[in-house]
């Protein structure tokens, strides 16, 4: 199957590598063409013009920064998109945006699946992403063998449902990172060794991927971006938009959003585990560990 992959960023680049390793023919496009050109050495076919990238593709995958960008790229690509082509958007967008993309493509004789991911750059490189898909059963069945090269895909409902599942994921991630930061700082301030505290509670009810990965990042004070503060803030705002549309109030999510909004004012490009830095700013004189901060 010939695939067009649009968006060669932190996540897109390793995802393309996984597709190539699985034997797919992949045309790559990026607004900054040099990023696409860099993948020619591993077998991708970089194309500078968006229309040329999608023209002969049976399947188009977009991995872009946000819904408005996806919308612009989709509208620009649509005149060149083959009839009945399947567009899989793996970006993180609002549910309403995904539903609008689905409606537009369906009206023009094309198909759409929203399939956002969780697992970060490490999961993308390992091909272990959690992929949450929304769309028609038959379209998902066509997409699943391709998605399998990048991770584990699950159909969670009609178009837009993948984005809802991703927002639920990000709700848990954003809140848990902040809770882990609070646990680390409390241990330090109360005289316990934060690293020993983390080791002691692992395997119990508090165990999580966040405690494993971001807890270690906090101990090492490694805030080099995997998932960015700015990206987490975008997700938090999308969660609140989905909650408003669904008619529910999420008080803890509102608090977490406020924390990331404050942090984004000074370090938007840091890893989202930099929530610890924001917490330390609220507690002058308290600091987890002695290692220097790594931000780049």
- Active-site amino acid positions: 166
Sign of CA dihedral 231, 232, 237, 239: positive
Residues 49 and 38: their CA atoms lie apart, in Å, by 16
CA distances from 50 to 148, 211, 231, 267 (A): 25, 41, 25, 32
Instruction: Bin 64: left if φ > 0, else alpha if -120 < ψ < 50, else beta.
Output: beta
Residues 263 and 259: their CA atoms lie apart, in Å, by 6
Residues 62 and 219: their CA atoms lie apart, in Å, by 35
User: According to DSSP H, which parts of the chain are helical?
Assistant: 12-21, 33-37, 50-54, 67-77, 95-107, 120-126, 137-147, 161-189, 194-201, 209-220, 229-246, 251-264, 275-282
- Which letter does DSSP use for residue 290 in this model? S
Residues 17 and 172: their CA atoms lie apart, in Å, by 29
Instruction: Bin 100: left if φ > 0, else alpha if -120 < ψ < 50, else beta.
Output: alpha
């Amino acid at each position: 199957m010939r695939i067009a992959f649009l968006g060669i960023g932190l996540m897109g680049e390793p995802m393309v590598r996984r597709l190539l390793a699985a034997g797919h023919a992949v045309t790559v496009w990026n607004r900054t063409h040099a990023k696409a050109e860099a993948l020619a050495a591993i077998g991708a076919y970089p194309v500078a013009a968006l229309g040329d990238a999608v023209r002969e593709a049976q399947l188009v995958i977009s991995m872009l920064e946000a819904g408005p960008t996806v919308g612009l790229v989709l509208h620009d690509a649509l005149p060149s998109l083959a009839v009945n082509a399947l567009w899989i958007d793996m970006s993180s967008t609002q549910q309403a945006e995904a539903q609008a993309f689905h409606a537009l493509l369906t009206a023009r004789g094309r198909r759409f699946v929203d399939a956002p991911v969780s697992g970060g750059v490490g999961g993308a490189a390992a091909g272990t992403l959690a992929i949450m898909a929304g769309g028609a059963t038959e379209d998902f069945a066509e997409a699943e063998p391709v998605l399998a090269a990048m991770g584990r895909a699950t159909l969670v409902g009609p178009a837009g449902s993948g984005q809802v599942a991703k927002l639920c994921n990000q709700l848990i991630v954003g809140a848990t990172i902040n809770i882990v930061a609070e646990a680390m700082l409390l241990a330090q301030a109360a005289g316990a060794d934060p690293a020993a505290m983390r080791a002691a509670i692992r395997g119990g009810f508090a165990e999580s991927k966040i405690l494993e990965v971001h807890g270690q990042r906090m101990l090492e004070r490694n805030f080099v971006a995997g998932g960015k503060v700015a990206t987490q803030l975008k997700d938090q705002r999308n969660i609140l938009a989905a909650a408003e549309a669904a008619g529910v109030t999420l008080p803890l999510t509102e608090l977490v959003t406020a924390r990331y909004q404050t942090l984004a004012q000074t370090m938007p490009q840091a890893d989202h585990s930099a929530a610890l830095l924001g917490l330390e700013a609220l507690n002058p004189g308290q600091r987890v560990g002695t290692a220097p901060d790594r931000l780049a």
